[in-house]
Amino acid sequence: MNSKSHHTNLIKTEAKRLGFLSCGISKAEFLEDEAPRLENWLHKNMHGEMSYMTNHFDKRLNPTLLVPDSKSVVSLLLNYFPEETQTNNTYKISKYAYGEDYHVVIKDKLRQLLNFIQDEIGEVHGRAFTDSAPVLDKAWAAKSGLGWIGKHSNLITKSNGSFYFIAELIIDLELDYDYAVTDHCGNCTACIDACPTQAITEPYVVDGSKCISYFTIELKNEIPSDMKGKFNDWMFGCDICQDVCPWNRFSKTHKEPLFNPNQELLSMSKKDWEEITEEVFRKVFEKSAVKRTKYSGFIRNINFLKS
């Protein structure tokens, strides 16, 4: 086995040991196919008030601008599909936010993986990314053969559906590269049909400014009144397009204790949420990504749902 293959195997084995669902590797190069798509999406203002999406356009498409002399993008998936979900007939939050903030959990694992690479292989330079820099996570994961991008624009795998986080290490080490897999959405339009705000404007195109996740997390102003009655009780994020996807019949429960929810979260009724105090909010979401909305934003969402 040559050193390139040996290094590739070492990295993939360690990624598995750290609890990642899968690991794929692609060459660090300009994402030629993504450039016109991203440009068109931004031109149509589908990013809404997420102005940061317009920043660093070149860096989003070219990893060598983020990590000089980078050779490889190591893409990783980390499962977050929960064993238990919230009770029926309550206000809901996205499953990804049940446990501790994924940024913190994944960054720690990525640091461990990078340290391992440096200890085992030698002087390797790189950076870790998880939804925290201008990196097109899903495009790299698809290019690395970890799945295909579905009509709802999320990455899907045959064996595990789509309830997982995507992260990357961009490093200056040449490795064996994987190949993209084929699309298996077929004629299915379940996600498009189920979206209550018609955010999936056409297959594979999501208007971010119409998405329930955007309104409940990213939007800082008041939620537009024409959205009333369309949120299906989602108060933070939304899982509708993933919940209806046939491939998520194959989702398996995660094995990451840090993603286990506060039990109080699972049992709270609509009345409990409507009466939530700032103290209880801080306790229930102590280390959760839900804190991004702050208490005031969270209450805004609940008031919008009950009005």
CA atoms of 238 and 292, how far apart (whole Å) = 15
- What pairing do the DSSP bridges indicate for beta strands 155-156 and 148-149? antiparallel
Rounded Cα gap, residues 199 and 210, in angstroms:
5
Alpha-helical (H) ranges within the chain are 3-17, 34-43, 57-61, 102-121, 137-143, 190-194, 212-213, 240-243, 263-267, 270-274, 278-284, 294-306
The CA distances from residue 120 to 45, 111, 124, 172, in Å, are: 46, 14, 10, 15
**Which of 184, 111, 136 is CA-nearest to residue 39?**
136
CA distance 108 to 102: 10
pLDDT at 52: 63
First to last CA, the chain: 65
Q: How far apart are CA 9 and CA 41, in angstroms?
A: 37
Tokens of 246: 């046939």
3-class DSSP state for residue 225?
helix
Q: Which pLDDT value is given to residue 81?
A: 98
Query: Can you give the pLDDT at residue 56?
Result: 64
pLDDT along the chain (307 residues), means of 10: 91 98 96 79 70 69 90 98 93 97 95 97 93 83 97 97 97 97 97 98 93 94 95 98 98 96 92 96 93 95 95
Q: How far is CA 188 from the centre of its chain?
A: 22
Q: What residues form DSSP beta bridges with 27?
A: 72
- Specify the pLDDT at position 135: 82
Name the domain count of the chain: 1
User: 137: which 2 tokens?
Assistant: 């996570």
How far is 135 from 49, CA to CA, in rounded Å?
19
Strand, helix or coil at 66? coil
Kindly state the DSSP code that residue 131 receives in the 8-state scheme. S
The owner of tokens 């009655």 is 229
| 176: helix, strand or coil | coil
Looking at residue 124, what DSSP letter applies? Answer: -
Residues that are catalytic: 131
pTM (predicted TM-score)? 0.93
* Domain interval for residue 200: 1-307
How is residue 191 written in tokens? 């996600």
Rounded Cα–Cα distance for residues 182 and 187 (Å): 14
Confidence (pLDDT) at 54: 64
C-alpha distances (whole Å) from 137 to each of 61, 146, 178 are 11, 11, 16
Q: Which of 93, 66, 68 is nearest to 82 (CA)?
A: 93
pLDDT at 50: 66
